[in-house]
A and B are shown apart, each in its own frame.
Chain A
């Protein structure tokens, strides 16, 4: 049964109400970021504009302070700051050698491609594994799933990434087996030989729609190891929550009624149980996606993945405060947007949420 007209209207109202909340959250984040930027002891906002070893005349400094509104009271400085943010002027990053917004946007498709793949992968593995564990509770499959997931969550993810590189790139290569690439988004030679026509910035999508299959194959191969590594962040949680939630739902009375109707087990599980059990998993997957979209700083660095996380890591090492603060604001925005998307998805799945 699809959504009726009235249901769609309720959904729209719900979305608008949630959007209002989103504005408030971003206001809070901007205040926090502003305080960090201006309130940190010993950090002069001017330092971002000074090159070490190249002194400026006092007159030039004074002019700069005036231009940056640094002589105004703090609340007024905040207003100027927010106006700049809204105008899209987030400052200039020395690390990227370009303004913050274009620097982040240019690297965003790589991060999205990696984060979405990782979350899809952890759901594709975690949801069935959780269901099987719940159905075979306390028996062999359940025990295996539980042991593997607790082991997975106990290892640092970057360590796992390095291990995968060692096995599937280094050892596989030494043994003459087909090895998986361990760094970057695509093979440089392939990129030279079969140049990609950019459409969306997502390598997989662009190469597919333009029919550039060699590029697609190379991009896919490059995605495997980092995406799998990153998927481990959410995998154990998805498995455990799916299992617990499924066990809870299978105890419900409506499952008994559905079974008493003579419906086959498959229908009872997929139509009646899974839909009810999936909501907590949506939250986890959504939160994980939010975190990963904010740049998987460590994994992107380990795999030399040219996303926003790796840029942020470079910014931190370069003391590029403009970039780091811009990155923080950007990550918060992504998190809020993803949470909104999850909330809307809730309302689609569960009609009770719409009111």
Chain B
């Protein structure tokens, strides 16, 4: 649905027709339906939607880290042109180590409580020893390699603006605040120089002021390191601040994908519009907060036709009858909605 990579340029991430089922209560239920995404090198794609829309499941599928009760039924996932699906666990480990880095929602629960910050960051060198070779590490003995690893850890903690990085590297996660822990997780991702950073709701668990700090840090690092980013969020404000392109997910499908400017200027899908209107706005002296009526349908019992039609203000006959297919509206802008079907654009 989103644009295909241009000739001669391999997309960092290409998800094509991905469908995933979850085993719930003894039967298989469709959780992702024909998801298409493209992230080009250096680009930041915002993946937006309510909780339960399948954003995180998509991210886990990209890393081959789907939970035991999930299975991919169709589609293809390529990281820098390499297929992820169907790989052995060892091949996946190599692929994850080389190409991917995750930053998750709640840093406190994602750091191992029993290992020091430094130890948790430095263990990435076990997976990618070549990161220590760049500065002549191949000629170094064990002790010197450890020293270089340690130096790199401290250097990256400084890069994410952690004060007194050498001391923090020797501390345990419980000795740090949530914001500092999230900086640690970011440093852990950066030190590997991954092709793609997947940031999953990274500010949701943090205080508002800390959220702003983490977001500006991410923007700064993206500018200085040319980081390619898959940014998963439910917050359109974060998308506006950090992303170049955006894909809106609803109930397991991408309903609209475009660059951020076009989406904010003229979102086409009624759900994408409603999502933008749900961002609190200050009009004159009154604050209006518009909510989308209803809730996301349970995946165990989805409505027929377009999954959004029960909550849609512009619902008409076809919505109940058929699932809309994506329509291309312009360069890298597509929408899956019957309003824009054949001959209606």
B104 contacts which chain A residues (CB < 8 A)? 253, 256-257
Return chain B residues, CB-CB under 8 Å to A272: 112, 115
CA gap between A271 and B104 in the complex, in Å: 21
Q: How far is the CA of A275 from the CA of B113 in the complex (A)?
A: 10
CA distance A254 to B117 in the complex (A): 13
Contact B115 A260 (CB under 8 A): no
* B285 CB–A CB distance under 8 Å: no
Which residues of chain B are near A271, meaning CB under 8 Å?
A: 115, 123
Task: Please report the C-alpha to C-alpha distance between residue A254 and residue B111 in the assembled complex, in whole angstroms.
Answer: 5
- Is the CB–CB distance between B112 and A259 below 8 Å? no
From residue B258, how far is it (CB to closest CB) to chain A in Å?
29
Could you tell me if B112 and A276 are in contact, using CB atoms closer than 8 angstroms?
Answer: yes
Known: A1-B119, A352-B172. A261 touches B96 (CB 8 A): yes
Provide the residues of chain B in CB contact with A275, threshold 8 Å: 114-115
Given contacts A252-B109, A260-B65, A260-B96, contact A349 B116 (CB under 8 A): no
Smallest CB–CB gap between A138 and chain B, Å? 11
Let me know if B63 and A260 touch, CB within 8 A. yes
Specify the chain A residue showing the minimal Cβ separation from B60: A256
B118 at the A interface (CB under 8 A): yes
Q: Closest residue to A257 on the B side, CB-wise?
A: B110
Please tell me if A177 contacts chain B, counting CB pairs below 8 Å: no
CA A271 – CA B115 in complex, angstroms?
9
Q: Are A254 and B112 closer than 8 Å at their CB atoms?
A: yes
- Chain A: number of interface residues, binned into ranges: 20 to 34
Kindly supply a per-residue 1/0 record for chain B positions 54-89, scoring 1 wherever the CB is within 8 Å of any chain A CB and 0 otherwise. Answer: 000000000101000000000000000000000001
Complex contact A257–B102 (CB within 8 A): yes
Flag whether B211 is at the interface (Cβ < 8 A): no
CA A275 – CA B89 in complex, angstroms?
23
B109 to A253, Cβ gap below 8 A?
A: yes
Nearest Cβ distance between residue B158 and chain A, in whole angstroms?
A: 19
How would residues 23 to 66 of chain B score, 1 for a CB under 8 Å from any chain A CB and 0 otherwise? 00000000000000000000000000000000000000001010
Cβ of A52 < 8 Å from any Cβ of B?
no
Write out the residue numbers on chain A whose beta carbons fall within 8 Å of the beta carbon of B118. Answer: 1
Query: Can you list, as one digit per residue, whether each of A311-355 has a CB less than 8 Å from chain B (1) or not (0)?
Result: 000000000000000000000000000000000000001111000
Hey, which chain B residues are within 8 Å of A260, CB to CB?
63, 65, 96, 100-102
Contacts of A263 in B (CB 8 A): 93, 97, 123, 126-127
**Closest chain B CB from A271 CB (angstroms):** 7
Roughly how many angstroms separate A260 CA and B98 CA in the complex, as a whole number? Answer: 11
Does residue B278 face the partner (Cβ distance < 8 Å to A)?
no
Residues of B near A262 (CB, < 8 A) are 93-98, 100, 124, 127-128
Question: Smallest Cβ distance from B232 to chain A, in angstroms?
Answer: 14
Q: How far is the CB of B58 from chain A (nearest CB, A)?
A: 14
Q: What is the bound-complex CA distance between A260 and B101, given in angstroms?
A: 7
For B109, the chain A residues whose CB sits under 8 A away are 252-254
Shortest C-beta distance, A122 to chain B (Å), equals 24
Q: Does A304 contact B (CB under 8 A)?
A: no
B65, B98, B116: the one contacting A1 at CB < 8 Å is B116
Cα A252 to Cα B111 with chains together (Å) = 10
Asked if A265 and B89 sit within 8 Å, CB to CB, the answer is yes
* B5 to A: closest C-beta gap in Å: 25
Partner pick for B110 among A1, A254, A276, A352, CB 8 A cutoff? A254
Name B114's contact: one of A4, A265, A267, A276 (CB within 8 Å): A276
A258 within 8 A of B: yes
Q: Are B93 and A256 in contact (CB-based, < 8 A)?
A: no
With a cutoff of 8 Å between Cβ atoms, the chain B residues found around residue A53 in the complex are none
- Assess A264 versus B93: contact at CB under 8 Å? Given A253-B104, A254-B110: yes
> How far does the Cβ of B95 sit from chain A's closest Cβ, in whole Å?
7
The listed residue (B89, B113, B119, B124) touching A261 by CB distance below 8 A is B124
Q: Are A264 and B90 in contact (CB under 8 A)?
A: yes
Pairwise interchain contact B170-A4, C-beta atoms closer than 8 A: yes
Min Cβ gap A168→B in Å is 41
B316: CB under 8 A from chain A? no
Q: Which of A1, A276, A352 contacts B174 (CB 8 A)?
A: A352
* A-B complex: 4 closest residue pairs judged by Cβ atoms: A262-B97, A262-B96, A253-B109, A260-B102
Residues on B lying within 8 angstroms of A by beta carbon are: 63, 65, 89-90, 93-98, 100-102, 104, 106, 109-116, 118-119, 123-124, 126-128, 170, 172, 174, 185, 188, 192
Which residues of A come within 8 Å of B, CB atoms? 1, 4, 252-254, 256-265, 267, 271-272, 275-276, 349-352
Q: List 15 A-B contacts (CB under 8 A).
A: A1-B118, A256-B110, A257-B110, A260-B101, A261-B97, A261-B123, A261-B127, A262-B94, A262-B98, A263-B93, A264-B93, A267-B123, A350-B113, A351-B172, A352-B113
